[in-house]
Amino acid sequence: MNNTTKRIVILLETDFRDEEAIYPFYRLQEEENISIEIATDQKKTAFGKFGFPMQGTIKLEDLKENDFDCVVIPGGNEGPDRLRMNRDVLNFVMDMYNKNKLVAAICHGVWIPISAKIMKGKVATCYRAIIDDLQNAGAIYQDEPVVVDKNIITSRHPRDLAPFVKAIIDFLKNK
């Protein structure tokens, strides 16, 4: 990566899929020039489906597109379902997309870009239970471990974490 620090934020609500937050959080820290924030409601500790705690470092309502180069959205069904009802989160994701910054979502996390209305005409993947949601949003579904369409990266499920995070790193290296 170039010498400019890339700022990444991971969006979390309680009942996120533990490994879909933990793996990107630690793996991306191994890269030079990356800083990571965890956005939660009121900077609370969010607990994963399997109980792993992740402490918020920034409030969801304080997210500003100018502060970040990438947003990572883990799945977990209930966590993303809560996030997509938060207007601040949807506006932030839409702003990131509109400024050509990276929006990366895995599993049910794809619900957030769907609800932010940025998926129409995009090629993407997601967890099989929400394929209809993705297609109803106007996206073109591909059953692949990871799909990159310009500044949107999507992935299916936890088994695809390695190629998902590699695609994030590759994108940031070329920015």
40-56 per-position pLDDT tens digit: 999 999 999 999 999 99
Mean pLDDT value of segment 126-148: 98
Give how far Cα 36 sits from Cα of 5, 7, 32, Å: 10, 6, 12
Which DSSP letter does residue 41 get?
A: G
Mean pLDDT of 135-162: 98
Please state the rounded mean pLDDT for residues 144-171: 98
Q: Could you tell me which of 20, 21, 14, 134 has the C-alpha nearest to residue 78?
A: 14
The yes-or-no verdict on residue 2 having pLDDT over 80 is no
Domain boundaries, the chain: 6-173
User: Quick one: pLDDT at residue 62?
Assistant: 98
Residue 4 or 116, more confident? 116
pTM assigned to the model? 0.97
Which CATH architecture fits 6-173? 3-Layer(aba) Sandwich (3.40)
CB-facing half-sphere around the CA of 16: CA atoms within 13 A? 31
Active site residues: 107-108
**DSSP-based three-state secondary structure for 60:** helix
* Residue 175's pLDDT band (cuts 50, 70, 90): confident
Look up residue 64 and give its two tokens: 């500003």
pLDDT of residue 130: 98
Q: What is the pLDDT of residues 75-115, one digit of tens each?
A: 999 999 999 999 999 999 999 999 999 999 999 999 999 99
Among left, alpha and beta (phi > 0; psi -120 to 50; other), residue 150 is: left
CA distances from 76 to 66, 83, 100, 156, 168 (A): 27, 11, 26, 12, 20
The one-letter amino acid code at 97 reads Y
Residue 116: pLDDT over 70: yes
